Amino acid sequence: MHAIAEGLFTNETPPRLIGGRDRASGRVVFPCPEGDRFDPVPLGRTGTLWSWTVQRYRPKSPPYAGPDAFRPWAVGYVELPGETIVEARVVNVDFAAIRIGMALELAPVALDPDAHDPVMIPAFQPIGVAA
């Protein structure tokens, strides 16, 4: 498996997201922009859910499977304390149990787990949940 974009995750286990720290202001963003203005910085693995929604309609194909294979997913903004807010899937939790302010940890998932060579995307799950 590999990341959907180069430079998205660290190579450590468990992985961390890689953000970018603006050299002039110190502001941290995700993902790390290309160029000389930002220095790559590993982000924290835990945060709190700032906002969320459920993606209930199938995006255009490719890369998404046809209508019969589509399954809705939760997507949220996760606040990493003292760093930034990242957008990612929220996984391993029922939609009805998702709450703003819930504690989450990074848990990357495959965009298409059935693919021959799946690509990993950022995702967060409730802390302590087994993937």
The full set of domain ranges for the chain reads 2-126
Tokens of 91: 């996984």
Question: Where are any strands of DSSP class E within the chain?
Answer: 2-3, 18-22, 28-29, 38-42, 46-55, 73-80, 84-90, 103-106, 109-110, 119-121, 123-126
pLDDT at 118: 85
Kindly give the parts of the chain with pLDDT less than 70: 1, 60-67, 130-131
pLDDT at 38: 97
